[in-house]
Amino acid sequence: MGLLPWVIIATLLWAGLFIRPQPVGGTIVPAPLERRDQFYGLALLPSGELLAAGSYGKILKIAQDGSISRLPTDVRNTLQDIAVWDAHHAVAVGNDGEVLYTRDGGASWQQAADVPRSEVANKLNRVRIGAEGLAIASGEMGALLISRDYGSTWGRLREEEDVAWNDVAILDGGRLVLVGEFGRIVLGNLDGQEWRDIDAGTGTSLMAVSFRDAQNGVAVGLEGTVLETSDAGESWTPRDVGLTDHLFDVAWLGEQQRWFVTGALGRWAAGSAEQWQAGILDRRNLAWHVRALPVAGGLWLAGADIGHWDGQQWSRLKP
């Protein structure tokens, strides 16, 4: 009987050293859309499907029936924006200078090589596209990067400086309107040779800019700032839209012939010139939204969540 405890101990030691546990069951695959996710970029494919880019390097494809699939990216940096040229070509940009591009409609994504970088900060906030593979990305430390091959290779349009550019509009003839921190508005061209600072009369950071044609545009920013131009950005008029919360994006609603702005706490406003109305998407869900994408019958919004707004009802996309 005195040997029994030692036999048990020896048996346990042998089992611990030489017997390996075998896996039971299958691997749990996380859902494409999770509650923790935040999305910053939206784009519409010619098929009517949506692409949404956001946290953890996620790019989702949202079908017209509401089904969701995750596209393979193999990156973890948060993606801040995404843009689509056609059924095959798209580009996404994000934190730490991340740039992804696809040539097969999102079935696979490649990381752009040798993207210009700063030694200080490299978040890319927005990407805008034009004809024949043109793309311009704006971001921290004065980043204003250009690609002419559908996002594969990139170069600088402006030298590095201590300012964050939050958005850029590409107008006819290669004209550019750049907006950013401290109310900065700069006009330039695709050749990158001539730049002019415009005094818009505000020191509040501007977060987005959009034009409905070559002359008429709107810029929005923090503390409810809304500026409107009718001369391609040469001068700007402040508009009172009934909001004092931060505004993050602006889009032109062609069906309604008016602007739509979105921002913090579920706030929105729509209108033009001096005629605006403001509201809240859903008083039970005061989420912030940084991107507005007009579609037939309303808009898709992305930020703390993703959903569709038809002007009356907010329909959140659920995990």
16 domain residue, yes or no: no
90 domain residue, yes or no: yes
147 domain residue, yes or no: no
Question: Count of domains in the chain?
Answer: 1
Question: What confidence category does residue 123 fall into, taking pLDDT thresholds of 50, 70 and 90?
Answer: very high
pLDDT tens per residue across span 241-257: 999 999 999 999 999 99
175 domain residue, yes or no: no
221 domain residue, yes or no: no
CA distance 244 to 231: 26
Q: Which residues pair with 258 in a beta bridge?
A: 253
For tokens 């993606």, name the residue.
79
**pLDDT value at 307 more than 70:** yes
45 domain residue, yes or no: yes
**What 3-state class would DSSP assign to 96?**
helix
pTM of the prediction? 0.90
**pLDDT value at 120 more than 90:** yes
CATH number, residue 83: 2.40.10.500
69 domain residue, yes or no: yes
Contact of 76 with 37, CB cutoff 8 Å = no
Task: Tell me which residue range forms the domain holding 97.
Answer: 40-131
Q: How many helices (H) and strands (E) does the chain have?
A: 1, 28
pLDDT tens per residue across span 132-141: 999 999 999 9
Q: Answer with the residue of higher pLDDT: 318 or 180.
A: 180
233 domain residue, yes or no: no
Q: Is the dihedral of CA 32, 84, 65, 39 positive or negative?
A: positive
